[in-house]
């Protein structure tokens, strides 16, 4: 079955190349919404190979991208009015930035794809444009040696492609700047929320179980009376790390994401404390501070994988420091919560 973004074919050098639309339709919109919520994300991809936009000729530019459909759609919707070729690499359905780090958007795949589509028989120049966020995976000198093609690193954002080409394949400082704006962070929250849902359910199950403990053992009365508030406390802690921290990211005075999450978790705890939702004695109150802060810190730390201004070495260092503290805080919180329940 033909993809809806394919609107025809162009015959060039005795081969048929799919022509794609630069307009997104309802199917594209719904697919994007679903994948933002983590639905069918693994399979949201297009076939690797060569595509045409407009009516490209032998002198037209070649843009390289990933086969993650959200990336593919972002690129093609910014190409209205251009006649270009798009070379899609097989990144296993992963975006350019992440695939470059994993090696699937890399030198070997680029060289392989250039040879497979016989690009040298289609275009008359030796210029290919690779997105800047894919630069870590592509060695330009190796591509040149093995294929003869010169790699030009394009802008960070697909919206700057036209300006980049018009500037003679030169990117100014603004085109090179990697940003992580409010809208960028907001788009990532639904998928991160769904990604951590099993952590959330596990933490809620533990909190609910402990809520039924009393000096007389497990009590249905305590389950019914304390279970709901316990579940809400855990849920608010999760929201603190997965929603509030990303939204307020630049405004939170800390470099470590885990520390940012600790701050927002502490704020949530204070709000719950004001509303009398942190237990019946000092043990329970102290326990909820430790638990809420630990959950918020841990979940916020996971956002490092979504940010474009964290490094692998930095993430590993942060996890080495923060993870033991988060585990210790959660464990001590659980112990204090049990003690508080037994003494109420």
User: What does the pLDDT look like over 99-132, one tens digit per residue?
Assistant: 998 889 999 999 999 999 999 999 999 999 999 9
CA triplet 246, 322, 329: central angle to 5 degrees?
A: 100
List strand residue ranges (DSSP E) for the chain, in order.
6-12, 15-20, 49-53, 62-66, 84-89, 127-130, 150-153, 213-214, 217-218
The pLDDT of residue 163? 95
Residue 19 has pLDDT above 60, yes or no: yes
The pLDDT of residue 1? 42
Residue 251 has pLDDT above 90, yes or no: yes
Report the sign of the C-alpha dihedral through residues 202, 203, 205, 209, in that order.
Answer: positive
Listed in order, the ranges of the chain carrying CATH 3.40.50.11600 are 6-176
Give domain 6-176's CATH architecture.
3-Layer(aba) Sandwich (3.40)
Q: What's this model's pTM, rounded to 2 decimal places?
A: 0.85
């Amino acid at each position: 079955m033909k993809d809806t973004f394919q609107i025809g074919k162009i015959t060039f050098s005795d081969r048929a190349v799919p022509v794609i639309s630069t307009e997104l339709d309802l199917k594209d919109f719904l697919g994007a919404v679903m994948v933002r919520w983590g639905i069918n994300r693994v399979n949201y991809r297009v076939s690797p190979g060569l595509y045409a936009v407009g009516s490209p000729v032998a002198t037209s530019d070649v843009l390289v991208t990933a086969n993650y459909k959200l990336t593919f759609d972002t690129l093609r919707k910014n190409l209205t009015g251009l006649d270009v070729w798009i070379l899609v690499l097989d990144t296993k359905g992963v975006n350019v930035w992440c695939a470059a780090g994993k090696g699937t958007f890399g030198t070997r795949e680029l060289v392989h794809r250039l040879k497979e589509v016989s690009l040298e028989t289609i275009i008359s120049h030796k210029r290919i444009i690779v997105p800047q966020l894919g630069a870590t995976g592509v060695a330009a000198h190796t591509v040149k040696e093995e294929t003869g093609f010169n790699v030009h690193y394009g802008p960070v954002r697909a919206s700057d492609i036209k300006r980049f080409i018009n500037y003679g394949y030169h990117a100014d400082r603004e085109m090179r700047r990697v940003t992580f704006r409010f809208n960028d962070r907001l788009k990532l929250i639904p998928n991160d929320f769904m990604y951590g849902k099993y952590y959330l359910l596990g933490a809620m199950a533990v909190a609910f179980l402990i809520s039924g403990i009393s000096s007389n053992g497990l009590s249905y009365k305590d389950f019914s009376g304390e279970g709901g508030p316990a579940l809400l406390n855990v849920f608010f802690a999760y929201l603190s790390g997965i929603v509030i921290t990303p939204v307020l990211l630049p405004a939170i005075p800390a470099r470590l994401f885990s520390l940012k999450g600790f701050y927002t978790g502490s704020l949530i705890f204070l709000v719950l404390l004001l509303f009398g939702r942190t237990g019946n004695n000092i043990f329970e109150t102290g326990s909820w501070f430790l638990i809420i802060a630990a959950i918020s810190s841990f979940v916020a730390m996971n956002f490092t994988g979504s940010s474009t201004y964290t490094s692998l070495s930095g993430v590993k260092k942060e996890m080495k420091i923060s993870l033991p503290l988060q585990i210790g805080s959660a464990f001590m919180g659980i112990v204090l919560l049990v003690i508080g329940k037994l003494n109420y």
